[in-house]
Structure 1
Amino acid sequence: MSRLLIGKKAPSFRAKAAQGDKIIDGFSLDDFLGQYVVLFFYPLDFTFVCPTEVHAFQEALQQFKQRNAQVIGCSVDSGFSHLAWLSTPKAKGGIEGIEYPIISDLNKKIANDYGVLHEEEGIAYRGLFLIDRQGMIRHLLINDFPIGRSVEEVLRILDALICFEMHGEVCPANWSVGKKTMQPDAVGLVHYFS
């Protein structure tokens, strides 16, 4: 059964996560309160679209850090599988050099709690959740297995949230940094289109 998580507290968990060459016990989103969190799920380690996404987030990691955002990956693989993938070179389909944590959701509870578990396959869809500094989900996107995500779009959405929080103005369609925002009322809409 699916439930909409927008505007709700991100489901909490404690899990193992791999980062660098170690496994972290008791990894929790609570450790990142006060920061934005980009939590993304991918189906499996050692697959095909997944490493392209994992590397794409790494390539933009500094841009996320500049926005006070922590990137976190998650799949249903074990922490040991994550470590093996982290030690496999990119040229061989691995994710060597990834700096951000990758959660092990071996019992599939996290994917289920976030509504991204494909129960028949036992793996997660490509779910992405933007969590604000208070731990609330402000954006989510779920792609089917063959469709990779755009990290540029994730940054644009994060910028829109930051802009709204700083200025109280809303961001219209196709907005990006430097473009016009508007007051969230009828007068603002008229002004925007004029």
Structure 2
Amino acid sequence: MENVSQCSFPRLNEAAPSFSARTTYGDRKLEDYRGKWLILFSHPADFTPVCTTEFIGFAQAAPRFAEMGCELLGLSIDSLFSHLAWVRNIKEKFGVEIPFPIIEDIKMDVARAYGMVHPGAADTQAVRATFFIDPKGVLRAMVYYPMSNGRSIDEFVRLLQALQTSDANGVATPENWCPGKPVIVPPPKTAEAAEKRASEGFETVDWYYSTRKL
């Protein structure tokens, strides 16, 4: 595995740290995903119960992500052989096939570049970190969970839908927004625009808060 570029911590709206790594589906690098959304997610270790439920959840949601032009890529600080054995075990014991690659990151190169290793949680394990990378390779969202609690895959589907809707329409989305609900219109930036806002045909509560349907 090649070393990734050094990065103290990834930051939103900047280029995601580049990487090149061995996976259960062969070699992968960040550039392979240009033109598509990518969700890169880490788990503390193979053959652990919470991680197993998450991988089953990601596998079951994989078709939904694919419909949105999004690839999935897992990671843990385990060997390729451990990943392969775990994937086979999930298929045998739970009847679920894992349809996405898992990065081998024994040297912790990718985990360090993405800030996945938090010494307060464990010295040699990656926390439950999830990164949304857009088709241009820009990091758009980061979500961290403690080792003791599993992530909500449905929330990641919802967040991706919201990000894509904001990009396509130049809008924001309110709390727990889902497709079909009104979106938030960007607030006016001048006093003159603020005066006109109420007459622009939006559902306006006040000059700074207006919504519309798509």
Q: For 1:142, what is the secondary structure of its paired residue?
A: strand
Identity of aligned residues (%): 35
Instruction: Report how far residue 58 of structure 1 moved.
Output: 0.4
What TM-score do the two structures reach when normalised by structure 2?
0.81
Q: Which residue of 2 aligns with 1:179?
A: 181
Match of 1:9 among 12, 15, 32: 15
2:193: which partner in 1?
none
| Alpha-carbon distance, 1:9 to partner | 0.8
Match of 1:58 in 2: 59
For residue 91 of structure 1, report the CA deviation from its aligned partner.
6.1
Q: Report the CA distance between 1:126 and its aligned residue.
A: 0.1
Please report how far the alpha carbon of residue 95 of structure 1 lies from its aligned counterpart in structure 2 after TM superposition.
8.2
Residue 192 of structure 1: aligned partner: 211
Q: Within 5 A, what are the aligned runs for 1:20-31?
A: 24-25=26-27, 27-31=28-32
Q: Name the SS of the counterpart of 2:89 in structure 1.
A: coil
1:39 corresponds in structure 2 to 40
Partner of residue 72, structure 1: 73
Where does 1:150-169 land on structure 2 (aligned, <5 Å)? 150-169=152-171
Structure 1 unaligned runs (5+)?
none
TM-score using structure 1 length: 0.89
Between the aligned partners of 1:114 and 1:10, the Cα distance in structure 2 is: 8
- CA gap of 1:32–1:95, structure 2 versus 1, over 3 A, is farther
Task: Tell me, in whole angstroms, the C-alpha distance in 1 between the residues paired with 2:99 and 2:30.
Answer: 17
The total of aligned residue pairs comes to: 187
Asked which structure has the greater CA Rg, the reply is 2
Tell me if structure 2 keeps the 8 A contact 1:38–1:129.
Answer: yes
Secondary structure class of the residue paired with 1:70: strand
In 1, the alpha carbon distance for the partners of 2:92 and 2:123 equals: 28
Deviation at 1:121, TM superposition (A): 2.6
TM-aligned CA deviation for residue 4 of structure 1: 5.0
Deviation of the 1:38 alpha carbon: 0.6
Q: Is the 8 A contact 1:54 1:95 kept in 2?
A: no
Aligned pair in 2 of structure 1 residues 85, 96: CA closer, same or farther (>3 Å)?
farther
User: 2:142 and 2:125 mapped to 1: Cα distance?
Assistant: 18
Distance (Å, rounded) in 2 between the aligned partners of 1:136 and 1:7: 6
1:86 matched to 2:87? The reply is yes
Q: Secondary structure at the match of 1:60?
A: helix
- Equivalent pair of 2:56/2:96 in contact (CA under 8 Å): no
- Counterpart in 2 of 1:111? 111
Q: Tell me if 1:126 matches 2:128.
A: yes
Shift of 1:29: 1.4
CA RMSD of aligned residues (A): 2.0
| Residues 183 and 211, structure 2, Cα contact 8 Å, conserved in 1 | yes
SS in 2 for 1:39: strand
- Residue 190 (structure 1) shift: 3.0
